[in-house]
A and B are shown apart, each in its own frame.
Chain A
Amino acid sequence: MEIEGLERILREHSFFAGLGDAFLALVSGCARNVRFEAGHYLFHEGEPANEFYLLRHGRVALELHAPGRGPITFQTLGEGEIVGVSWLIPPYRWAYDARALTLVRAIGVDAACLRQKCEADHDLGYEMMKRVTSVLIQRLQTTRLQILDVYGTHG
């Protein structure tokens, strides 16, 4: 019952859109429901990437700390998006802090568990690789736009 519910949620999450039933079953074996109160951290910079999150509800800020400037948010994420993309490729370490801005409900996926299944079944591994890469490309492109500072005056 619990597992079936998770599989349904995963199937409906845009990160897993179009993933076959067999793979969904494999993924859901590594998944659990999680919840974070506003202000709580999903993970911190430098920690091992043990669990990533598929947001179902709420908003998460990705932050970097700069001495003297405090936390700088460089991106916020919401429903349907993935928090944490460093789990698939070594060194499996988070590169920023992820903080819940509101109450957050998500599916947490055990990264070591899923990596093992990806190694065992490269077809699953390739599916995960394509999905993670797509997110990375989008984030790279939007980061470029941020760097351009298009609203600046460039006097």
Chain B
Amino acid sequence: MADTDGTTDPMVPRLARIARRRRDGPQVWTLEIEAEDSAGAGFAPGQFNMLTAFGVGEVPISLSGDPAEPDRLVHTIRAVGPVSTALTRLGPGETVGLRGPFGVGWPMAELAGHDVLIVAGGLGLAPLRPVLYRLLAERARYGKVVLLYGTRSPQEILFRRQIESWRRRLDIDIEVTVDHALGDWHGHVGVVTTLIPRASFDPAHTIALVCGPEVMMRFAIAALRDAGLPDTALFLSMERNMKCAVGLCGHCQIGPVFACRDGPVFRFDRLRNVLAVKEI
């Protein structure tokens, strides 16, 4: 990052090109982009970039690709607002603005030697996919690896083919559940929290990583605490409005912390008190 010395404006984007674009669900697209000045600085699982659709605006998008391939910047985007919609409509070769990577990611160093329980909801699987790539690439460094994934319906399962191929491995437990299903679905039905009491892990040696809609994370954390995990073993990734991503614009405050600079990944005990307050 050229701006660590403060000489470069942290608000000015670099240019990047869409290399690949793939549909990953209703309104969900995965964009792989390459920075033009391509110094693949790498990123940590859980970090995010600020992507600009020129003439429309800029939004934070988490990195969802393999951290072992730093030149391929992969972002999974749901078209929900004007900027995300504009981004998902860009095709290969088109230009986007890129700032980042930003933020504090998942506690990768701390995971070594532990069982890792990943609880993801909906699009929340995207910022956890880099963790899965890393865990599976260095599988021997970790204990048991469990992925519990919940989403709305079978049609909305993110990275479906990849989940199926990981499922064939014997060194990771994967359970997928959906909130609603018609008769042709033979998997779990029920919210993702129902998978937690059924999963097998040793609460004394497990670190849990949780990402999804805030309500889902609240209930997942309650279920993990009920299962015996201490607050210091629970990590979650927070979503907030962000304009600058470097702690200057004030938008992403959650009580005493800035989601962009101090997070987006937080150990639960740091947010326990503020998350208990509505509309904080």
Number of A-B residue pairs at CB separation under 8 A = 76
- Cβ of B188 to closest chain A Cβ, rounded Å: 5
User: Which B residues lie within 8 Å of A78 (CB)?
Assistant: 188, 198
B101: Cβ under 8 A from any A Cβ: no
- Cβ of B78 to closest chain A Cβ, rounded Å: 7
Contact partner, A150, options B122, B186, B189, Cβ 8 Å: B122
Instruction: Say yes or no: B180 contacts A150, CB within 8 Å.
Output: no
- Cβ of B186 to closest chain A Cβ, rounded Å: 5
A153: Cβ under 8 A from any B Cβ: yes
Q: When A73-B181, A73-B183, A153-B78 are in contact, do A146 and B188 touch as well, CB less than 8 Å?
A: no
User: Which B residues lie within 8 Å of A152 (CB)?
Assistant: 152
Interface size in chain B (residues, C-beta < 8 A): 31
Contact partner, A76, options B27, B156, B190, B216, Cβ 8 Å: B190
Interface of A: prevailing SS: mixed
- Cβ of B145 to closest chain A Cβ, rounded Å: 21
Cα separation A75 to B78 with both chains bound (whole Å)? 27
B185: Cβ under 8 A from any A Cβ: yes
- Cβ of B34 to closest chain A Cβ, rounded Å: 29
Instruction: Say yes or no: A151 contacts B182, CB within 8 Å.
Output: no
Question: A76, A80, A146: which has the most chain B beta carbons within 10 Å?
Answer: A76
B95: Cβ under 8 A from any A Cβ: no
Instruction: Say yes or no: B121 contacts A71, CB within 8 Å.
Output: no
User: Which A residues lie within 8 Å of B216 (CB)?
Assistant: 145, 150-151
A148: Cβ under 8 A from any B Cβ: yes
Chain A, range 48-74, C-beta contacts under 8 Å to B: 59, 61-63, 69-74
Q: When A78-B198, A151-B122 are in contact, do A146 and B180 touch as well, CB less than 8 Å?
A: yes
The proximity string for A residues 129-155 relative to B, scoring 1 for CB distances below 8 Å and 0 otherwise, is: 000000000100110011011111101
User: Which B residues lie within 8 Å of A82 (CB)?
Assistant: none
Contact partner, B182, options A62, A72, A101, A146, Cβ 8 Å: A72
- Cβ of A81 to closest chain B Cβ, rounded Å: 8
Instruction: Say yes or no: A146 contacts B191, CB within 8 Å.
Output: yes
Cα separation A152 to B151 with both chains bound (whole Å)? 9
B277: Cβ under 8 A from any A Cβ: no
Cα separation A74 to B180 with both chains bound (whole Å)? 6
Instruction: Say yes or no: B179 contacts A146, CB within 8 Å.
Output: yes
CB nearest to B198 among chain A residues: A78
CB nearest to B222 among chain A residues: A141
B212: Cβ under 8 A from any A Cβ: yes
- Cβ of A58 to closest chain B Cβ, rounded Å: 12
The proximity string for B residues 187-210 relative to A, scoring 1 for CB distances below 8 Å and 0 otherwise, is: 111110110001000000000000
Q: When A74-B189, A75-B190, A145-B219 are in contact, do A151 and B156 touch as well, CB less than 8 Å?
A: yes
Chain B, range 64-113, C-beta contacts under 8 Å to A: 78, 80
CB nearest to A150 among chain B residues: B213
Instruction: Say yes or no: B122 contacts A73, CB within 8 Å.
Output: no
Chain B, range 7-49, C-beta contacts under 8 Å to A: 27
- Cβ of A56 to closest chain B Cβ, rounded Å: 14
User: Which A residues lie within 8 Å of B189 (CB)?
Assistant: 61-62, 73-76
CB nearest to A99 among chain B residues: B183
CB nearest to A147 among chain B residues: B179
Cα separation A62 to B180 with both chains bound (whole Å)? 11
Contact partner, A72, options B181, B187, B194, Cβ 8 Å: B181
24 chain-A/chain-B pairs, Cβ below 8 angstroms: A62-B189, A71-B182, A71-B183, A72-B180, A72-B183, A73-B180, A73-B182, A73-B183, A75-B190, A79-B198, A142-B191, A142-B194, A145-B179, A145-B216, A146-B179, A148-B215, A149-B179, A151-B121, A151-B122, A151-B151, A151-B156, A151-B213, A151-B216, A153-B27
